[in-house]
Structure 1
Amino acid sequence: MSQISIKAGIIGGAGYTGGELLRILINHPNVDIVFVHSNSNAGNLISDVHTDLLGDTDLKFASETSQNIDVLFLCVGHGDAKKFLATNLFNPKIKIIDLSQDFRLQKDNGHVLSAEEGPRTFIYGLPELQREEIKQAQNIANPGCFATCIQLALLPLAKKGILNSDVHISATTGSTGAGQSLSQTSHFSWRNNNLSVYKAFGHQHLKEITQSVKQLHNGFKKDINFIPYRGDFARGIMVSAYTEFDGTQEEAEKLYKDFYSSHPFTHVSDKNIDLKQVVNTNKCLVHVEKHGNKLMVLSIIDNLLKGASGQAVQNMNLMFGLDEKAGLNLKPVGF
């Protein structure tokens, strides 16, 4: 396995997800980066844009692409992935991992979530939901950050078929979740020491979450009520969800631990959890608590890693038959 060499190309390497992807792939034992495409930074050193990579790479951003690759990562804006693939034809043997939302809303084709774009079929890339399908996939639709964190909080209940009442979710994300383009609500002076709700009950990731829950829980018809918050920190997502649950605390813990026992990045904690445990890692930590007839589920991830670029590399590892954790043994920042 360690002898496999993967040639990778990146489209849109100057943003937050592109930068995170570069940090992982530069140090990945099985990957050689062939090109990093950027319209706005062509010819510039990558380390001039992602200054933390000074000394790690001499690569420059390219204005051209190459067919001499095994995998192509699309780190472009929502709506731009479809446009790019429509005007840039790549050999169908080249695997594609799209980090935008363009192919995430999919059809349940025999209990496998997939979407079609021309001759390509994109498999929904949440390993804890479709790991075996990802191993056989040619193209992946990488999940959204909120969607990843919330799905990992709900999937064990959906698999058991016991999401029989409405689900109530509050979730807070860091400013990097808004992307690198400056806006009023991502500006430091507005975001610092501040907290706000946005897209209440109507966040775009709700459809993505619902389709996965229905894949496991046939006939699910309850409401998933989602209130997203903008946090005054740079990275990470914390989800708190609750719904009715007839079982005991011990039964809930066993349900979650059994579901995630074979998944190397999702761990169930017996103790309460905090965001610093996962920032700068590809982990998701989950904690469950029974309160009366309600089960509260806490879920935390790094939105740029398990919620984006780290999960994309996890999917790449599965697609090429590598150790799922290759290049992703990252430590949290701690302090």
Structure 2
Amino acid sequence: MTKIKTAIIGAAGYTGGELLRILVNHPNCELVYIHSNSQKGKKIDEVHPDLIGDSDLIFTDEVKTEGLDAVFLGLPHGQAKSFLEQNKFDETTVIIDLSTDFRDESNGFLYGLPEINSAKNKDTKRIANPGCFATGIQLALVPAIAAGLAKNDIHITGITGSTGAGKKLSETTHFSQRNQNVSVYKLFTHQHLKEIKQTFGQLQEGFDQNLLFVPYRGNFSRGIWITAYFPYEGTIEDAYKVYKDFYADAPFTHVSDKDIDLKQVVSTNKCIVHLKKEEGQLVVYSAIDNLLKGASGQAVQNYNLAFGLDEKTGLKLKSVAF
């Protein structure tokens, strides 16, 4: 079996670390090098101690553009575009960017939400990985948008774990601030709304409903919980049929008839969706792991699609039920 020669640029952060945890065990991947300006010269387990015994790779600050089949960009938002301007990779190299830089499908990048664009992913070499809140919200709502069920403004709340803010310490990620605490940020203005509306506009011509999104910082490490609701005149049975038909071929997105909880998805690449109808509203819950289905796991799912592999390759991960 010929393995896919792969590099990770920006492999020291949370998403870079999750990519490493998946790819060191991916049967079709050969990690050629892992890049970090801040951690150059360090062994992989000096930066990610849990990977002791899994790899002998050493971080480098050198960027090698030749001889690669795939590159993951785990750079901070705003840096991927300038990085690619300075470092020219072969047109045949698959580039998967995890930042916000190309999610508007500029410069030839495909928006990589597999539940919508899996067929296109197989024919592209440039993929923009969706944001974490954007993934949770879209997977909660795209079946309803595609079927025209949501005709009014959509109300959304979402709570995310502290890892969603990245590895660098800040006031709102400090333990003493985050622990036993909940707070709101970017009320109705979250940056992920732009990419969500882009997708909804593709699914429903003329989509112009307001997305009234209240994002919360949670007092836990990882995971995203979304609650969305809108007026709905149909039956709950009809709504479930729409959702189950839409996700019938999606290997990671599951529609549950039973109540769900966040631990069902933490440490996995799954999204689980649950529906209720109350007070004339269709209420949709979705749960994902922000670092996996919301970032690195979905990036590997796109990687698998780009190389014609089974989507689940390397992603049969175990949840933490207790």
Q: Does TM, scored on the shorter chain, surpass 0.5? A: yes
Which residue identity is paired with 1:42? K
Tell me the secondary structure at the aligned position of residue 307 of structure 1: coil
The correspondence of residues 26-37 of structure 1 with structure 2, limited to 5 A, is 26-37=24-35
1:303 correspondence with 2:285: no
Post-superposition shift, 1:4? Answer: 4.4
Q: Distance in 2 between matches of 1:164 and 1:100?
A: 31
- Aligned partner of 1:17 in structure 2 is 15
- Aligned partner of 2:106 in structure 1 is 115
CA deviations 1:248-307 (Å, max 9, x no partner) are: 010011110000000000000001110000000000000000113100000000000000
Post-superposition shift, 1:50? Answer: 0.3
- Aligned partner of 2:136 in structure 1 is 149
The correspondence of residues 1-335 of structure 1 with structure 2, limited to 5 A, is 3-66=1-64, 67-105=66-104, 114-116=105-107, 121-335=108-322
CA deviations 1:114-138 (Å, max 9, x no partner) are: 321xxxx100000001110111111
Tell me the secondary structure at the aligned position of residue 300 of structure 1: strand
Unpaired stretches in structure 1, ≥5 consecutive residues: 106-113
CA deviations 1:36-67 (Å, max 9, x no partner) are: 01101111001001000011111100121221
CA deviations 1:191-242 (Å, max 9, x no partner) are: 0000000000000001111111111011111111000000000000000000
Tell me the secondary structure at the aligned position of residue 29 of structure 1: coil
Q: Distance in 2 between matches of 1:167 and 1:213?
A: 12
Which residue identity is paired with 1:181? K
Post-superposition shift, 1:89? Answer: 1.1
TM-score, scaled to structure 1: 0.95
Unpaired stretches in structure 2, ≥5 consecutive residues: none
Q: Distance in 1 between matches of 2:106 and 2:42?
A: 36
Post-superposition shift, 1:245? Answer: 1.0
How many equivalent residue pairs? Answer: 321
TM-score, scaled to structure 2: 0.99
**Structure 1 vs Structure 2: percent identity of aligned residues?**
60
Q: Distance in 1 between matches of 2:216 and 2:68?
A: 39
Which residue identity is paired with 2:100? Q
Tell me the secondary structure at the aligned position of residue 151 of structure 1: helix
CA RMSD of aligned residues (A): 0.7
Q: Distance in 2 between matches of 1:44 and 1:321?
A: 34
Tell me the secondary structure at the aligned position of residue 328 of structure 1: coil
Which residue identity is paired with 1:77? P
> Runs of 4+ in structure 1 displaced over 3 angstroms?
none
**Conserved in 2, the CA contact under 8 Å of 1:163 and 1:220?**
no
**Conserved in 2, the CA contact under 8 Å of 1:13 and 1:38?**
yes
Tell me the secondary structure at the aligned position of residue 23 of structure 1: helix
